[in-house]
């Protein structure tokens, strides 16, 4: 079968690889129907995710069909259409029992990182019972791919950890797909101000159409000043950092209000400076971490009811065999007006 294989910083290939086989009785083999590229894959391609080793198949998002099952998988049968969670969870270890699936002692974020992932014709999913979800027949299976990671991450790590609440002000630093997923899901909680910050006019325009009350262009490095003007000099109650760079951190830190929350969504490959000489008196709370994907079932219901429209996050549709071009488009998002690039396998 074909797979997108990582060969170290800047090196990848779409090439033949052995078809995955069942390894444990709790595994499933899923024939991938749709997958997508994540900002995290770009971080891996830059060499800033040390756990991703050379030779691994990338990708941690997708919808597919169950093709083989280990004897101890009980929730699924062959032929079921399934959503793959970016987080693998055994459901039994201490962290899983706390609902911290992201830190499962035999899982967590391993797909397309420490084990072969979803940008392939087939993928082996460990702990299938805890790591797959049924996709209803009538559901929009392409839109559902947005649930594997970005919608649940935007909601859990951005909106819920950041404690977005009615009437509050929110700034989302970085209007890429996961920032926009936070923007969409923040609206479940009716904040008064929803400010997006980016340097790409296309993404800012899209953020307005998705519900941003203000879109701040930081081309001239005046984002902090502009946000202060929008908040009577107070800063915002909730800052969601969705870039994953020291510059993204610096902006976020500078605009969080006294008593506010700063939720880090970005994947950081470099250290940042916490300016404690200013921040010690700010009474702010910072959160950062992995998604647990516990909100996937709830998000599925909101998609099926039409309240949430995940296709608004997809800008490009391609064949899986065009994935190298898909990476070029996603990595040069401003040039191509790209959000998520969805790739489909012919089944």
Rounded CA separation 290/173 (Å)? 18
Which one of 69, 96, 157, 195 is in contact with Zn ion (CB under 5 A)? Answer: 96
Nearer to Zn ion, 90 or 160 (CB): 90
Size of residue set near Zn ion by CB under 5 A: 7
Binding part of the chain for Zn ion, among 82-90, 115-123, 202-210, 279-287 by CB under 5 A, reads: 82-90
> Is residue 149 involved in binding Zn ion (CB under 5 A)?
yes
Cα 232 to Cα 43, 142, 257: the distances in Å are: 36, 42, 11
Nearest approach, Cβ of 148 to Zn ion (angstroms)? 7
Cα–Cα dist 182/156, whole Å: 9
Which lies closer to Zn ion via its Cβ, residue 163 or residue 312? 312
Q: Does 88 bind Zn ion (CB under 5 A)?
A: no
With contacts defined by CB under 5 A, name the span among 39-47, 220-228, 269-277, 301-309 that binds Zn ion.
Answer: 39-47
Report the distance separating Cα 180 and Cα 345, nearest Å. 26
Q: Does 104 bind Zn ion (CB under 5 A)?
A: yes
93 touches Zn ion by CB under 5 A: yes
Burial of 226 (0-12, 13-18, 19+ CB in 10 A): middle
Query: Is the CB of 121 or the CB of 149 nearer to Zn ion?
Result: 149
Comparing CB distances to Zn ion, the nearer of 181 and 223 is 181
Is 42 near Zn ion (CB under 5 A)? Answer: no
Residue 303: how many CB atoms within 10 A of its CB? 19
Which among 103-111, 228-236, 300-308, 334-342 is the span making contact with Zn ion, rule CB under 5 A? Answer: 103-111
Specify the length of the chain in residues: 347
* Bridge partners for 173 per DSSP: 197, 241
244 phi and psi angles, rounded to 5 deg = 90, 35
Work out how close the CB of 92 gets to Zn ion at its nearest, in angstroms, rounded to a whole number. Answer: 6
Pick the stretch among 102-110, 186-194, 236-244, 276-284 that binds Zn ion (CB under 5 A): 102-110
Q: For Zn ion, which is the closer residue by CB, 126 or 260?
A: 126
The verdict on 228 binding Zn ion (CB under 5 A) reads: no
Q: In this chain, which of 4, 28, 29, 38 binds Zn ion, going by CB under 5 A? A: 38
Q: Which of residues 266-305 bind Zn ion (CB under 5 A)?
A: none
CB of 123 or CB of 236, closer to Zn ion: 123
Which residue ranges make up the site for Zn ion (CB under 5 A)? 38, 40, 90, 93, 96, 104, 149
């Amino acid at each position: 079968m074909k797979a997108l294989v990582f060969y170290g910083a800047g090196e990848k290939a779409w090439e033949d690889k052995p078809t995955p086989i069942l390894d444990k009785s709790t595994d499933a083999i899923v024939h991938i129907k749709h997958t997508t590229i994540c900002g995290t894959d770009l971080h891996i391609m830059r060499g800033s995710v040390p756990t991703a080793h050379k030779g691994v198949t990338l990708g941690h998002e997708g919808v597919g069909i169950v093709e083989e099952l280990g004897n101890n998988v009980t929730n699924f049968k062959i032929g079921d259409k399934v959503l793959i969670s970016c987080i693998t969870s055994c459901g039994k270890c201490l962290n899983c029992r706390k609902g911290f699936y992201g830190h499962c002692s035999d899982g967590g974020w391993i797909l397309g990182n420490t084990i072969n992932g979803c940008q392939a014709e087939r993928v082996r999913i460990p702990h299938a019972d805890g790591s797959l979800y049924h996709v209803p027949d009538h559901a929009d299976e392409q839109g559902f791919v947005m649930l594997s990671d970005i919608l649940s991450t935007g909601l859990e790590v951005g909106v819920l950890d950041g404690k977005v609440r009615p009437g509050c002000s929110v700034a989302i630093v970085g209007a890429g797909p996961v920032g926009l997923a936070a923007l969409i899901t923040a609206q479940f909680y009716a904040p008064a101000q929803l400010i997006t910050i980016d340097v790409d006019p296309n993404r800012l325009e899209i953020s307005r159409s998705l519900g941003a009350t203000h879109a701040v262009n930081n081309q001239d490095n005046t984002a902090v000043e502009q946000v202060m003007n929008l908040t009577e000099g107070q800063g915002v109650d909730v800052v969601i950092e969705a870039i994953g760079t020291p510059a993204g951190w610096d902006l976020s830190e500078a605009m969080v209000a006294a008593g506010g929350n700063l939720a880090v969504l970005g994947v950081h490959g470099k250290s940042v400076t916490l300016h404690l000489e200013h921040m010690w008196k700010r009474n702010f709370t910072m959160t950062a971490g992995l998604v647990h994907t516990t909100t996937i079932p709830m998000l599925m219901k909101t998609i099926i009811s039409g309240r949430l429209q995940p296709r608004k996050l997809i800008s490009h549709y391609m064949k899986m065999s065009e994935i190298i071009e898909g990476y070029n488009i996603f990595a040069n998002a401003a040039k191509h007006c790209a959000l998520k690039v969805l790739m489909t396998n012919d089944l």
